[in-house]
């Protein structure tokens, strides 16, 4: 069963929101979103609905954070996950979060993007 048609619209909105991120975080975020949506492309109806609900909630939270940042003029990335929310995650998802955290907290590398879209460090 394919994911509902709203998935493509949500996917585009997330990638559009990523444009405001620094280049390295944008590349990381875009890659993560693409992998997650690809993995859930053929999810069953219940799982697809939950997946989309969670991403929609994440998108709304990001937009709220962005609005707050615009008011404060201080950039803060990410959201704090509650213990209740973490308990809902499968072991695989916890592993993905750990990988994402490790990648996002690596020492800063200089990232340049060439015209042919290849990333170089």
SS3 of the chain: the string is CCCCCHHHHHHHHHHHHHCCCCHHHHHHHHHHHHHHHHHCCCCCHHHHHHHHHHHHHHHHHHHHHHHHHHHHCCCCCCCCCCHHHHHCCCHHHHHHHHHHHHHHCCCCCCCEECCCCCEEC
- 74 Rama sector, left if φ>0, alpha if ψ -120 to 50, beta otherwise: beta
Q: Would you write out the chain's pLDDT as a tens digit for each of its 121 residues?
A: 445 567 888 888 888 888 888 888 889 889 999 999 998 888 888 888 888 888 888 877 777 666 666 655 555 566 677 788 878 878 888 888 788 777 777 776 555 554 444 444 4
CA distance 53 to 43: 14
pLDDT for the residue 34: 92
């Amino acid at each position: 069963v394919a994911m509902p048609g709203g998935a493509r619209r949500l996917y585009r909105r997330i990638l559009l929101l990523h444009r405001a991120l620094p280049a390295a975080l944008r590349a990381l975020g875009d890659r993560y979103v693409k992998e997650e949506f690809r993995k859930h492309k053929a999810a069953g109806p219940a799982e697809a609905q939950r997946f989309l609900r969670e991403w929609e909630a994440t998108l709304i939270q990001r937009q709220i954070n962005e609005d707050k940042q615009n008011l404060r003029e201080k950039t803060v990335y990410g959201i704090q996950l509650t213990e209740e929310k973490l308990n809902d995650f499968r072991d695989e998802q916890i592993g993905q979060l750990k990988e994402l955290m490790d990648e996002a907290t690596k020492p800063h590398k200089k990232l340049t993007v060439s015209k042919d879209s290849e990333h170089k460090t």
